[in-house]
């Protein structure tokens, strides 16, 4: 079984400041890792994913994440946030042998203040 | 290219009734997954269909069922509704059934059970 823990439920941050959202996972098998964003009243949009290879993954909208196998972490970062980054962010894992099934963390709500 | 569409967007039902939700994937996508999103339990996987076959199923009671048609459109059905079934139901489509592929989410159907 897999599980995902997002350590912060809410992260307030000022505009143009950096932000880091923490994600830890547990799994008995190798996993694929994802970050999704959900804006109010919308579905989820993929920010980035890690399947294999370089542990630093770059995504859309200036986001990047680093896979750390020893710490079973996949933290998301952005060097300078905008008001439009206010949203809820979800970390997710999938078992490569289990199709498209995603196991999500509880989410981190990011509030960007002017 | 049109995105994933879900109908209806909002639905109010009474306890004990049944409901059917519909999901039309992006053209050419053969995998459709369903998720339930609630404030208490977060995002939970319901099931995945690929080429009309259920590939994965989450830990939900048998009241939750689904199917996929030959045009890849999918429906999910919940029978004997309970108050706890109130949630946002999201579907996601993907071109392939293998893990690691980008999944595109619809805007969801918000179900309220009274």
- pLDDT of A86-105, one tens digit each? 999 999 999 888 888 999 99
Q: Of the candidates B42, B34, B45, B51, which has an alpha carbon nearest to the alpha carbon of residue B106? A: B34
Q: Which of residues 52-91 of B touch A (CB under 8 A)?
A: 55-56, 58, 90
Q: Which residue of B has its CA nearest to A3?
A: B44
Specify whether the CB–CB gap between B40 and B102 falls below 8 A. no
Omega prior to B8 cis, within 30 of 0: yes
**Which residues fall within 8 angstroms of residue B45, CB to CB, at 6 or more apart?**
A101, A102, A103, B33, B34, B35, B56, B58
CB contact under 8 A, A43 and B42: no
A53 touches B: beta carbon within 8 Å = no
For chain B, the average pLDDT equals 94
Over residues A4-48, the pLDDT tens digits come to 999 999 999 999 999 999 999 998 788 899 999 999 888 999 999
Asked whether A23 and A4 are in contact (CB, 8 A), the reply is yes
**Ranges of chain B with pLDDT below 50:** none
**CB atoms < 10 A from the CB of B16, how many?**
10
Report the alpha-carbon distance of residue A33 to residue A44 in Å, rounded. 15
d(CA B10, CA A18): 37
Per-residue model confidence as pLDDT tens digits over B66-80? 999 999 999 999 999
């Amino acid at each position: 079984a897999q599980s995902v823990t997002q350590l912060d439920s809410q992260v307030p941050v000022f505009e143009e400041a950096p932000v880091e959202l923490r994600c830890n996972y547990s799994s008995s098998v190798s996993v694929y890792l994802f970050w999704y964003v959900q804006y109010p009243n919308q579905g989820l949009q993929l920010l980035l994913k890690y399947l294999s290879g370089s542990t630093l993954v770059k995504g859309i909208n200036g986001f990047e994440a680093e896979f750390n196998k020893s710490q079973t972490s996949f933290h998301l970062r952005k060097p300078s946030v905008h008001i439009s980054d206010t949203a809820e962010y979800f970390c997710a894992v999938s078992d490569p042998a289990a199709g498209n099934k995603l196991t999500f963390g509880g989410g981190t709500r990011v509030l960007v203040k002017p | 290219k049109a995105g994933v569409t879900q109908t209806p967007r909002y639905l109010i039902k009474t306890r004990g009734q049944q409901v059917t939700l519909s999901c039309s994937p992006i053209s050419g996508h053969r995998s459709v997954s369903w998720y339930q999103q609630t404030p208490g339990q977060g995002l939970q996987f319901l099931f995945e269909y690929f080429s009309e076959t259920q590939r994965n199923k989450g830990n939900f009671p048998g009241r939750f069922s689904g199917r996929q048609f030959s045009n890849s459109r999918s429906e999910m059905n919940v029978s004997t509704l309970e108050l706890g079934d109130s949630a946002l139901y999201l579907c996601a489509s993907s071109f392939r059934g293998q893990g690691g592929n980008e999944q595109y989410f619809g805007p969801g159907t918000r179900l309220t059970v009274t």
